[in-house]
Amino acid sequence: MSSLSGKLVSSIEINSCSDVFHDIFRHRPHQISEMSPTKIKACDLHEGDWGTVGSVIFWNYTHDGKEKVAKEIIESIDEEKKSVKFKVVEGDLLELYKSFSLTCHVDTDGEKNLVTWTLEYEKLNESVEDPHTLMEFCLHVTKDIEAHHA
């Protein structure tokens, strides 16, 4: 990896059922705007079908106090590992990053349900910061979804 490439990984414990959480990100991401309305404004399907690899999803969201957009392709789904990987193909993130992918993985560790977010990216240049605030955003959305299902 070059010095411009990076990877952030963070996990958060949830009380919600891991199957429900995975189902939301796989089949029902368009409902996240109801669960986290201050962060996710809308999520629309542009191509394909919900929950299928190759489908294109368009997000309107608020990050760092600014309205932003992202067009993502569902790159992979692993039912056994309960993970969904999204690759950003258009939008605000690509003004800072040459490439950007997000993976949401839900795991049960004994009594605990953990949601792990992995952000993989390549910065356009050295002055671009690592996406720590975006990781915080993902963790906050996770807690909003959990609160909605409490």
- Give pLDDT tens digits for 32-52: 999 999 999 999 999 999 999
Alpha carbons 56 and 79: distance in angstroms, whole number? 19
Alpha carbons 53 and 89: distance in angstroms, whole number? 14
Domains, the chain? 5-148 (3.30.530.20)
What letter does residue 30 receive in the DSSP assignment?
G
Given the structure tokens 């800072």, which residue do they identify? 96
* Residues 7/115, Cβ–Cβ less than 8 Å: no
pLDDT (mean) for 120-149: 95
Q: Given this model, what pLDDT does residue 1 score?
A: 46
Length of the chain: 150
- Give pLDDT tens digits for 65-112: 999 999 999 999 999 999 999 999 999 999 999 999 999 999 987 778
Given the structure tokens 């394909």, which residue do they identify? 48
Element (H, E) at 8: strand 5-14
- Give pLDDT tens digits for 4-27: 999 999 999 998 777 888 899 999
Q: Two tokens at 49?
A: 């079908």
